[in-house]
A and B are shown apart, each in its own frame.
Chain A
Amino acid sequence: MMESLANLMGGFAAALTPGNLLFAAIGVLLGTAVGVLPGIGPAMAVALLLPVTYAFDPTGAFIMFAGIYFGAMFGGSTTSILLNTPGESASVMAAIEGNPMARSGRGAQALATAAIGHFVGGVFGAIGIVLLAPLIASVAVNIGAPDYFAIMVLAFVAVAGVLGASRVRGFASLAIGLTIGLVGLDPISGQARLTFGVPQLADGIDVVIVAVGLFAVGEALWVAAHLRRTHQEIIPVGRPWLSRADVKRAWKPWVRGPFIGFTFGSIPAGGAEMSTFMAYVTERRLSKHRDEFGKGAIEGLAGPESAASASSAGTLSTMLTLGLPTTAIAAVMLAAFQQFGIQPGPLLFTNEPDLVWTLIASLFIGLVLLLLLNLPLAPLWAKLLRIPRPYLYAGILFFACIGAYAVSGQAVDLLVLLVIGVVGFVMRRYGLPVLPAIIGVILGPDAELQLRRALQIADGDVTTLVSTPLAITVYTIIAALLLFPLIRKASRTKVDA
């Protein structure tokens, strides 16, 4: 504990240098913009920036990425509240209570509730990382290849089979991602897989191209097919502020939100979406003003918003300590770590203490910057929504192409980008979620490596996979996740008959 505090102080010393402060500032500015703007999310933004950051030192790059992640949460609520269409999936809940508030002339209070909620949630979440992450890392140091493989399978099953409306479509998306991840030379044996003799495919399809193709190009093509021609009304508001009565109603949800958010953010259960939903349900149950829910109850905005930012912290905690991404942006950040030759996981805290603690300290700094940027300036940020859509999506395609080209300097990569963009388009058209695919691409090769390593160590004895208590527990959870809906279906049929 004392050691963590000392490390954190060291982190602050490093994070407060001009260079790192600049990265934090750029990150939160970009993040807020990305959060406000439709069509572009934090995962896409980080993927687009990956090729640019090769030249930076990794600490600066990750400070910027974390700023984008948290900034997108702040900005996303602004769009949700003023436009009634969430800028990010994490801010769906903000629209439910925030937009009615804005419609009834309480937009300024709604923006303030959301911004302070994100700040409180983010700070609680960052404290959670300081307290829990070193603990988790020290426990996880002893887990071996069979455990890792089991946890990764759990992540696959959770994102593909539990989230989303259709299991078969979730798993189809996962399989597409795993297949893309398979292309190239096998790292252990050096044999070519799915390269069809094309030399360019021997290195595999770069994660940047896959992520940018699925997110940016797929989204641009999808919007092109269904571009909204009608103008959406943005509710005008003044400077955000809160009355004493508002604060009195909002402070408990602000404090409760982080506990829900951090927990659900750190397990593979849908990141901010699940966290905000659970926080909303909780606040509705606990509220004395239950009749106001759906019509602009401030509790229903305060709780989910603080849960959203805390869930980002929880997601970061799991990504740093276990190397396990639970959301799309965590998956892209994991890919970024790999590009820098750093392996997130239990050893990260011992191998790269400076990077980790500077990053954690910069979370606090970034949150203060975000509160300063968003509390007074939210109406100004909302002006970004006026950008003509042809320019917005032309810009997204433009930076997607630069990102893809910068990976290896070959124009052919733009064609690969387009093909993956078309895959992203088809997935959006037919309701295949994008998240399982991106987790499959990034985590798939790792999972295979862990599986083969486990079998190498055990001389091919398959029982090694279930030789530890942790692995057995994880497989039990996986079985429960897979079987539960089937059992429920069966029992319902029985009742019907």
Chain B
Amino acid sequence: MTITEERPVERAGWWRAHSELGVSIVLGAVGVLVVVDTALESGGSVSDPLGPRAIAFVLGGALLLLSALLAVDVLRGGHGEAEAGEDVDLGTPADLRTVGKLAGVLVATAALIPILGWPIAGTVLFWGAAATLGSRTPARDVLIAAGVSLVTWIVFDGLLGVDLPGGPLMGVFGA
């Protein structure tokens, strides 16, 4: 085996082409986590010969093994086929910025529910997600978002008995 001097750009390109190794690393890390979590505790008893740890231990080992097998597969040129779909255009590079924004909208929703209640948080969620996904009609989006959010809140909270907080706004209307 010859050692060649690699320029940083080429190395980055190699990692990009083999980014699937990240999956292998995550699997391995989870495997270590499961094994460590398992190793610290006691095993079975007379009434429960296997105990709560044995299966977890085997599973942790399996994760480590799969991590290694996946790494070997990727290094030998194998790669997982990205999932196709009717709204999915695999010809374009992954737009991770949109994915990040969408995740941000979800986090914002989670933060807003306890403060402002479902109708408003839901409006923010729908509107934010639609805008992130490329809708260019903000005014119409807000109206649809508010409509969907309010109607679902009334149906779910009022009719179906799913407990969704109404928030201060609905408190005003309710009183």
Contact = CB atoms under 8 A, between A and B. Distances in A.
A432 B23 contact: yes
A388 interface: yes
Nearest to B49: A460
B59 interface: yes
Given A165-B81, A431-B79, A456 B87 contact: no
A460 B129 CA distance: 54
A490 interface: no
B156 A38 contact: no
Contacts of B102: 220-221, 224, 397
Interface residues of A, number: 80
Interface string B78-95: 111111011111101011
Interface in B1-19: none
Given A224-B99, A398-B129, A411-B111, A194 B87 contact: no
Given A225-B96, A226-B95, A426 B23 contact: yes
A267 interface: no
Given A168-B73, A406-B164, A431 B50 contact: no
B138 to A, nearest CB: 11
A295 interface: no
Contacts of B86: 38-39, 79, 83, 85-87, 228, 232
A179 B131 CA distance: 35
B34 A224 contact: no
Contacts, number: 235
Given A178-B59, A193-B37, A401-B109, A227 B114 contact: no
Given A224-B102, A390-B134, A430-B23, A406 B59 contact: no
A228 B89 contact: yes
B169 interface: no
Contacts of B103: 221, 418, 421-422
Given A172-B70, A191-B52, A402-B152, A224 B164 contact: no
Contact of B30 (A52, A179, A222, A425): A179
Contacts of A229: 89, 92, 134
A79 B69 CA distance: 38
B130 interface: yes
Interface string B52-70: 1101100100110010011
Of the candidates B33, B130, B149, the one having the most CB atoms from chain A within 10 angstroms of its own CB is B130
Interface stretch (A6-14, A181-189, A342-350, A467-475): A181-189
A168 B66 contact: yes
B156 A394 contact: no
Q: Interface centre among B51, B52, B105, by most A CB within 10 Å?
A: B52
Nearest to B68: A168
A393 B129 contact: yes
A223 B85 contact: yes
Interface residues of B, number: 80
A45 interface: no
Interface string A108-139: 00000000000000000000000000000000
Interface stretch (A25-33, A281-289, A363-371, A447-455): A447-455
Interface string B101-130: 011011101110110001000100111011
B50 A397 contact: no
B98 to A, nearest CB: 5
Contacts of B37: 193-194, 196
Contact of A431 (B83, B105, B135): B83
A463 interface: no
A408 to B, nearest CB: 10
Contacts of B27: 172, 175-176
Contact of A428 (B83, B96, B114, B162): B83
B133 interface: yes
B106 A418 contact: yes
B133 A414 contact: no
B49 A459 contact: yes
A53 B122 CA distance: 21
Nearest to A417: B106
B106 A414 contact: yes
A460 B132 CA distance: 56
A389 B87 contact: yes
A415 interface: yes
A401 B125 contact: yes
Given A179-B59, A397-B106, A456 B163 contact: no
A390 B88 contact: no
Contact of A398 (B33, B89, B126): B126
Contacts of A225: 94-96, 98-99
Nearest to B78: A166
A415 B107 contact: yes
A224 B132 contact: yes
A198 interface: no
A166 B92 contact: no
Contacts of B106: 217, 397, 401, 414-415, 417-418, 421
Given A230-B89, A405-B164, A430-B80, 11 more contacts: A166-B78, A194-B34, A196-B37, A220-B102, A221-B102, A223-B87, A226-B95, A390-B133, A397-B106, A406-B163, A456-B48
10 contacts: A52-B162, A166-B73, A182-B34, A217-B106, A220-B102, A226-B89, A227-B133, A397-B106, A430-B80, A452-B50
Interface of A: 38-39, 51-52, 54-55, 79, 83, 85-87, 165-166, 168-169, 171-172, 175-176, 178-179, 182, 186, 188-189, 191, 193-194, 196, 217, 219-230, 232, 388-391, 393-395, 397-399, 401-402, 405-406, 409, 411-412, 414-415, 417-418, 421-422, 425-426, 428-432, 448, 451-452, 455-456, 459-460
Interface of B: 20, 23, 26-27, 30, 33-34, 37-38, 41, 44-45, 47-53, 55-56, 59, 62-63, 66, 69-70, 73, 78-83, 85-90, 92, 94-96, 98-99, 102-103, 105-107, 109-111, 113-114, 118, 122, 125-127, 129-135, 141, 144-145, 148-149, 152, 156, 160-164
